[in-house]
Structure 1
């Protein structure tokens, strides 16, 4: 291990100083990294105000203000959800995170190993329980208006549930688009994908929030959260469909022909032979779309839903803490960085597994 690291270090130094221009750029980059590291160390450690210190000390230093985070962390995580009921959104957040980790581990073949039916049952149970805990009104739970579903739980609900429903819809759109038996169906699927990918996500969100309720029958209403979820599902499905279509088009025609020669039906060949290979070839673009869908969920703040970035802004809206926006956004940024880094790592491992 040490030998490998030393070899990589020698190679990097040799390439970094292979010419005067490369040496100058290396020194400039190293100096910039050192300056950023020094500023970060000062802010995080040397000039920080620790949780056991008085909050007034934050006004006398430019370092990290831990008293702000300890006082406002629940507001950042759960927003205006009733304070005495915040154990419920905390449980929802933990369940959804564990569900996402479990699914990722299943994808890369790590224990606990479950079959598709067991994993689907867990998904249905966790999603249903999440909405029950957040909304209440049943089983003796106090009802909470969806308008007060804020922060981390709403981010996880909108992103995880939207992706879970958008992916199979994207697969169906792909199959409808590439089949040749029903040209009208292929044209409709193609038109849907191209139109949806050709409009901004905000447009789709506004349609979901303001237009979708108008199309419902009289006396039927839909909450802003559910309307936004529907919009996200149909929007992300078009991107997943295009990713999978690229994988399908890259497959040799002989794969489907070989399946047909074995007497397989269209659906058997698609499910057992063609689609698994297409998804495997689409993994890099699928992971990219997944991470983009997860991060883009923050745009829901534009339509009045307070996700994690919006509750972070609430936290320093208090005049007493108006100078601590950096702490709030660093906490949110750290969450997104860690979660996206985990998804990227899973994507790389999937790609290695498929290549081996």
Structure 2
């Protein structure tokens, strides 16, 4: 039997995580099918995903009725509903977690996005989510805002595994790695078992192209247009170089020798937005050992169906990737301005989705009374 494209991707060192979760998917054994047939070894969630899941079908109706009868407010109801899904999905992925010694089989749940600029609030909610889900293969998603960096260090120091989300710039990525290493150092001082602490750093890809391509179109020169749809991949490739350099440092090596794990790069926002581009672009161009690619189901299916996996497409790409960023600057696209905007918009979009989730659950609680 010919090896599938997703199996080839896994063999090349890429952990395939699904960027979606719903109770219907859990109850229908859809996750087990993806594990068995699509090499899926983890799941990520966010407020947008939960808002979408709760607005469709009847899978949540019974729990909503129970929560309404118990007099739960909307915040408590959302907490119960989302943590139940994550706990149940974590149980499904537990064999993958055990087989991979904790690297995969992960299910991520995000702190409330309104806390993105509140370090203390983020730390408190991260602890509450971790305790409620109560599964070793859960991960708490914390955004890579300035305030988020402080929270990442504190939460890692407590022995909680973290998925750092909304990373757009290389400079912020370096700060994320520093926050992780600082947390590990604190955990080590406290006598914690570093081998049980895992983290991924979610570097967003397609959103970079969407914003930069819009600016290149506005500039309109031949040089500008020749750079379209190249920035996202180049940026992620250079992030992998930062990863390699950072975890080869003396500081990191001391922690790794004490049992710590590398914080793996995770490619997020890998659904292709432009119909002019190959729908597997952000998969096949970002293959390297020890990375995670979290895919919407549409991208996962496209990868399974027709992706051409040719092995490592990152190592050795750094000169060309740097050249692309230099050329973008030369035509008038500000990398720092774009990445700062994308972080701001990323937080705002998640807050909008969170409010939609609250509205959906509020209406469901009212209907159930």
Question: Do they superpose with TM above 0.5?
Answer: no
Which protein has greater RCO, CA pairs closer than 8 Å, 6+ apart? 2
Flag the structure with larger Rg: 1
Q: Which has the higher strand share?
A: 2
TM-score (norm 1): 0.30
